[in-house]
Structure 1
Amino acid sequence: MGFHSKPTTFVGHVKIKVENLERSLTFYREVLGLDILEQTSSAARLTTDGKTSILSLEQPENVIAKQGRATGLYHFAILLPERSDLADIVVHLIDKGIRFGASDHLVSEALYLDDPDGNGIEIYSDRDPSTWKWEGNNVAMTTIRLDIENLLTCAKSGKAWKGMPEGTVMGHIHLHVADLDQAEEFYIKGLGLDVVSRFAGQALFMSDEKYHHHVAVNVWSGVGAPRPAENSVGLESFTLVYADEEARQAAINQLQQIGASVLKEENEWITQDPSGNRVVLAI
Structure 2
Amino acid sequence: MTPVPAETRIGHIHLKVADLDRAIAFYSGILGFELTQRYGPGAAFLSAGGYHHHIGLNTWESLGATPPPPGHTGLYHTAILFPDRASLGAALARVLAAGISLTGAADHGVSEAVYLNDPDGNGVELYRDRPEADWPRDAEGRLRMVNHPLDLDALLAEAGPQADTEFTEPTQA
> Would you say same fold, with TM above 0.5?
yes
- Between the aligned residues of both structures, percent identity stands at 36
Letter in 2 for 1:120: G
Deviations 1:172-228 (A, max 9, x none): xxxxxxxxxxxxxxxxxxxxxxxxxxxxxxxxxxxxxxxxxxxxxxxxxxxxxxxxx
Equivalent in the alignment of 1:120: 123
Alignment of 1:1-283 (within 5 A): 7-40=6-39, 41-61=41-61, 63=63, 64-68=65-69, 69-100=71-102, 101-135=104-138, 138-157=142-161, 160=164
Letter in 1 for 2:100: I
Q: Residues of 2 paired with 1:60 and 1:95: CA distance?
A: 31
Q: Residues of 2 paired with 1:125 and 1:162: CA distance?
A: 22
Q: Which structure 1 residue ranges, 4+ long, deviate > 6 Å from structure 2? A: none
Going from structure 1 to structure 2, the CA distance change for 1:128 and 1:79 (only over 3 Å counts) comes to: same
CA contact under 8 A between 1:106 and 1:142: conserved in structure 2?
yes
CA shift for structure 1 position 21:
0.8
Structure ranking higher in strand proportion: 1
Equivalent in the alignment of 2:170: none
User: Paired residues, what number?
Assistant: 158
Question: What do you get for the CA RMSD once the two structures are aligned?
Answer: 2.3
- Partner-residue secondary structure (3-state), 2:75: strand
CA shift for structure 1 position 162:
8.8
Tell which deviates more after alignment, 128-137 or 47-56: 128-137
CA shift for structure 1 position 161:
5.6
CA contact under 8 A between 1:44 and 1:56: conserved in structure 2?
yes
- Partner-residue secondary structure (3-state), 2:159: coil
CA shift for structure 1 position 159:
5.9
CA contact under 8 A between 1:33 and 1:162: conserved in structure 2?
no
Q: Residues of 2 paired with 1:159 and 1:105: CA distance?
A: 23
CA shift for structure 1 position 114:
0.6
Q: Residues of 2 paired with 1:111 and 1:44: CA distance?
A: 25
CA shift for structure 1 position 18:
0.4
Q: Residues of 1 paired with 2:157 and 2:67: CA distance?
A: 37
CA contact under 8 A between 2:43 and 2:59: conserved in structure 1?
yes
The runs of 5 or more residues in structure 1 that have no matched partner are 1-5, 164-283
CA contact under 8 A between 1:16 and 1:58: conserved in structure 2?
yes
Q: Residues of 1 paired with 2:164 and 2:76: CA distance?
A: 31
- Partner-residue secondary structure (3-state), 2:160: coil
CA shift for structure 1 position 160:
3.3
Letter in 1 for 2:129: D
The runs of 5 or more residues in structure 2 that have no matched partner are 168-173
TM-score for both structures, normalised by structure 2 = 0.81
Q: Residues of 2 paired with 1:30 and 1:87: CA distance?
A: 16
- Partner-residue secondary structure (3-state), 1:102: strand
Going from structure 1 to structure 2, the CA distance change for 1:159 and 1:105 (only over 3 Å counts) comes to: closer
CA contact under 8 A between 2:44 and 2:56: conserved in structure 1?
yes
Going from structure 1 to structure 2, the CA distance change for 1:158 and 1:76 (only over 3 Å counts) comes to: closer
Going from structure 1 to structure 2, the CA distance change for 1:42 and 1:80 (only over 3 Å counts) comes to: same
CA contact under 8 A between 1:107 and 1:126: conserved in structure 2?
yes
